[in-house]
Structure 1
Amino acid sequence: MELTPQVLLHGYAIGVFPMAESRDNPEVFWVDPKLRGVIPLNGFHISRSLARRMRRGGYEITIDRDFVGVLDGCADRAETWINDVIRTLYIQLHEMGHAHSLEVWMDGELAGGVYGVTLGAAFFGESMFSRRTDASKIALAFLVDRLRQGGFTLFDTQFLTPHLASLGAVEIPRAVYRRQLERAIAQSADFASPPVPSAEEVIQRNTQTS
């Protein structure tokens, strides 16, 4: 079957996602983990150290200003699953309004960011990157806040990495994930419209109290 943006969206809707073995391997395969990484949107808390960093400022948050820059930043590592086929497809999804990016700018340069796919009230986080200290943590804090403000109910991180676990991600069984996915894609949410909040607003809504 030829991979098209529509085929990708159908894959996400049934609980699978595409990957490539490497940047230079043209083949794309579907992944369906037994355990799925998710960030509970109502259980995310900003740590005191991250709150201090966010309050110091020195960065700007934008939405969909440089989707391709974020995509290429995520692929700019020794090993990546983002090959040319995937890159082209996600740019097309972005042009269709189904893929979005959140950027962190420092000193006028793209310092970090995250991108993912939206379907109903589900956000499928694809990848994030950081060129400056804490840029990806700042991106994730603003992303989770945006998802909550936009009415999303599911934040899929695909896998659970130590980095994501330190930020509140957990693993859930495939069957549980698919039930949450079915409910989420039947609802509506808005990624693009909510205004970018101040750091203090994000912190107040998500601060760890313990």
Structure 2
Amino acid sequence: MIWLDKKDIWFPDPEYAPADFPLAFGGDLSPERLLFAYSLGIFPWSSEGEPIMWWSPDPRMVLFPDRLKVSRSLKKVIKNRGFTVRFDTDFETVMRMCASVKRKGQSGTWITPEMIEAYTKLHKLGYAHSVEVYLENRLVGGLYGVSLGGVFFGESMFHIVSDASKVAFVKLVERLKEWNFDMIDCQQSTPHMARFGAVDIPRKEFLKILRNSLKKLTIKGRWK
């Protein structure tokens, strides 16, 4: 196992990382380290009380924006349900809701107070973004992630009203498609994301797309 200290910011080459095991442990969640990690296709994921674990799984689930699939029923929800969608209006609350809202078959959360503090800093620096869904002025769903170049790295989503997180995701992808983003990183393979058109690709292909996408200008600051 490779342990990182808090002084030097570096990671092992993700090309040779384990497929389903952390490539490194430790380090910190400073903005500099987080941004460097994402630029290499690496992300942190661990539970409270555990050391920071850094991952670069193989395969990697991604969604290419122009391949988004929206069911007929969801289109009706978006049109008729009365949701209002906003970007970057309440980032920290979205993170806290992602951490606290219960998910079927899951207990606990990997979104620790340290993670919330770290990603809120990234948000203030213009790299982390949220999508909020409101119903009658009440926050009922949303998601957040990190944006670098032409890639959006999805982190987590929540809903307390049926379909609210799905609406947030569709509106995000539509916006990213307008901005000519190359892909949305979904990290782990799930049937939920597959229904939107996400696919598993080899890590090697993911890293190649990422390197090319990082040549694009990062859209920093508040997304309106």
Tell me the equivalent position of 1:201.
none
Q: CA offset at residue 79 of structure 1?
A: 2.3
Q: CA offset at residue 193 of structure 1?
A: 7.0
Give the secondary-structure state (helix, strand or coil) at the position aligned to 1:50. Answer: helix
Tell me the equivalent position of 2:185.
156
State whether structure 2 residue 160 is matched by structure 1 residue 131.
yes
Tell me the equivalent position of 1:14.
40
Q: Give, in whole Å, the separation in 1 of the partners of 2:141 and 2:114.
A: 23
Compare 24-33 and 92-101 and name the one that shifted more.
24-33
Amino acid at match of 2:166: K
Q: Give, in whole Å, the separation in 1 of the partners of 2:187 and 2:57.
A: 8
Taking structure 1 as the reference length, the TM-score comes to 0.87
State whether structure 2 residue 78 is matched by structure 1 residue 49.
no
Q: Give the % identical residues.
A: 38
Taking structure 2 as the reference length, the TM-score comes to 0.82
Structure number with greater CO (CA < 8 Å, separation at least 6) is: 1
State whether structure 2 residue 197 is matched by structure 1 residue 168.
yes
Amino acid at match of 1:80: T
Tell me the equivalent position of 1:203.
none
Runs (5+) with no aligned partner, structure 1: 196-210
Runs (5+) with no aligned partner, structure 2: 7-27
- 1:130-176: CA deviation from partner (whole Å, max 9, x where unpaired): 11011011111101001111231121011111111112111111000
- Give the alignment's Cα RMSD to 1 decimal: 1.6
Q: How does 1:49-88 map to 2 (within 5 A)?
A: 49-76=73-100, 77=102, 78-88=107-117
> Is residue 112–residue 135 contact of structure 1 (8 Å, CA) maintained in 2?
yes
Which structure carries more helix by proportion? 1
- 1:26-57: CA deviation from partner (whole Å, max 9, x where unpaired): 52110110111101111112221111111103
